[in-house]
A and B are shown apart, each in its own frame.
Chain A
């Protein structure tokens, strides 16, 4: 119960740190426009539709570096599947689509650490390693440890799912329950809490800047071309 209590408050603290950090970053995104050369910032549905494959396939990264793109795309896709798969611990009843992706989510859990290893190797050895910043390595290593702990747990020390679900349900209500009786789970959970406040702001900002870049490219065609002149 003591461990459960500590973990619950640690989770609340980590989530609060993450949420406050993101809010502090997001606040200036809503500032008044009207600075020189600012492009129109409203949503344009055609541009939104055009941005969807750009964002989902990380096309800009593909154009810049297809070798690193392979690792990054596989990592982001597998992370998404793993997160969706983990929703079964947070939701009750569990929606059918989450049950439906359990198998593929499980496979993604094995692929994720491999993709992270690939990224680390490419960045460190082949890809101008001197320009990779320490923070990036910290995040990559953090995700690698979390995913490796997840793989070990799933493969060798499968914990009691019901215990996990009870613990998570209690933590979400800030009502302490006993932590699952599984050291791999506790390690996995603690590692997630450690990296949560350090998650990069690009997870929210990048889709929006990719959308804006697509819109800007389109506007460039009209800037001094076409029927707007003479």
Chain B
């Protein structure tokens, strides 16, 4: 059965542009110097050109000239499994695409290649397979109860309106795995003083990103419609969120799965908070006399183009001396947590996370400021038991402490 599936034409999930991108790859290898998985594993098979070459071969075997004349050839199951492992080991950070000499949009290409493997019954791998069932059962990819989504951390002094023009979406990773980050978010939102609303914990389900990025699209339409309708009923005109992956998913993909333009706008929390700072609604007063280093999350910088707002917020905190990583903004280095790869390739994620820690440590940063719950969780994990120790803090966590 599986053998027959492997004769089916490859490339069905790809857009016209993605077919073009596969053809455009010159195999120059310039992307490799930015690939975090290459950096820690040196595994050539995981490299972007090798993945593109392998997929081109699958296409050739099932829709090339020879297959047109003589019939499609079977693609070896072992090759497909190796390819699947390689494409799911990627963190989808998109740094390869940023360095690509022909401009291939890899942050989008890899999830679609994963989708192709999912439809063939080969991907995803190991723990990634459990995510749809977890989301179906509990509303989040961690399989944790909705009752624990907000209750353990939500500050009692922050008031949430039943209806408001501003909506706040917490995101699953922040709510369950990076609590200081989302606690900082709502504390700052509360201090801004404008009414904001949230969905109740059982209604605030997964945004769909982990399912999208692992090519498991089946639940996406339902999740997106449920969330969009929930916020619409609460009168939301602007949805604010701090998780870069969620923001990316909402801005880029929700309209597709919703079927039309969203009835509200989306703002990353740094944009919303910076505007509040500029309007004088909040003002950091307590100084932080430290040098801090800000890490650009992949899906925030390369994903939705936000690089300056978090820096502008940090610079407004009295006493802060902002350091920069050598690779910063749209060229930033992945923290190792992306693309749901961390669920399976834990060692890669820790090793990649430690590269970020190393640089922060060498630059003598007092604190390493992160802006993504996945980075927050994984880099904290990478720090555990490591000889180089740097304090980790989120932008809003830091700001909420000095307002």
Task: Please state if A60 and B16 are interface contacts (CB–CB under 8 Å).
Answer: no
Number of interface residues of B (CB under 8 A): 54
Which stretch from B99-107, B321-329, B346-354, B393-401 is at the chain A interface? B99-107
Task: Please state if A224 and B268 are interface contacts (CB–CB under 8 Å).
Answer: yes
Task: Please state if B25 and A202 are interface contacts (CB–CB under 8 Å).
Answer: yes
- In Å, the complex CA distance between A132 and B237 comes to 51
Task: Please state if B30 and A223 are interface contacts (CB–CB under 8 Å).
Answer: no
Task: Please state if A24 and B68 are interface contacts (CB–CB under 8 Å).
Answer: yes
CB closest chain-A residue, reference B25: A202
CB closest chain-B residue, reference A210: B103
Q: Is A225 interfacial (CB-CB < 8 Å)?
A: yes
- Known contacts A35-B112, A64-B99, A228-B265; is A220 also within 8 Å of B305 by CB? yes
- A63-102 vs B: 1/0 string, CB under 8 Å? 0110010000000000000000000000000000000000
Q: Is A173 interfacial (CB-CB < 8 Å)?
A: no
Task: Please state if B49 and A36 are interface contacts (CB–CB under 8 Å).
Answer: no
Task: Please state if A60 and B237 are interface contacts (CB–CB under 8 Å).
Answer: no
- Known contacts A24-B63, A131-B44, A201-B23; is A38 also within 8 Å of B28 by CB? no
Collect the chain A residues with CB atoms within 8 Å of residue B238's CB.
Answer: 229-230
Collect the chain A residues with CB atoms within 8 Å of residue B304's CB.
Answer: 220, 223-224
Q: Is A9 interfacial (CB-CB < 8 Å)?
A: no
Task: Please state if A36 and B17 are interface contacts (CB–CB under 8 Å).
Answer: no
Task: Please state if A201 and B16 are interface contacts (CB–CB under 8 Å).
Answer: no
Q: Which of A127-175 contact B (CB under 8 A)?
A: 127-128, 130-133, 135-136
Interface of A is mostly: helix
Which chain B residues have a beta carbon within 8 Å of chain A's beta carbons? 11, 13-17, 19-21, 23-30, 32-33, 44, 47, 49, 53, 63-65, 68, 99-105, 108, 112, 212, 217, 237-238, 247, 251-253, 256-257, 265-268, 271, 304-306
Could you list 8 examples of A-B contacts with CB < 8 Å? A32-B16, A35-B14, A36-B256, A37-B252, A60-B101, A65-B101, A131-B29, A229-B265
Given A24-B65, A61-B101, 9 additional A-B pairs, CB 8 A: A35-B13, A38-B256, A128-B33, A132-B29, A202-B26, A208-B24, A213-B103, A214-B103, A224-B267
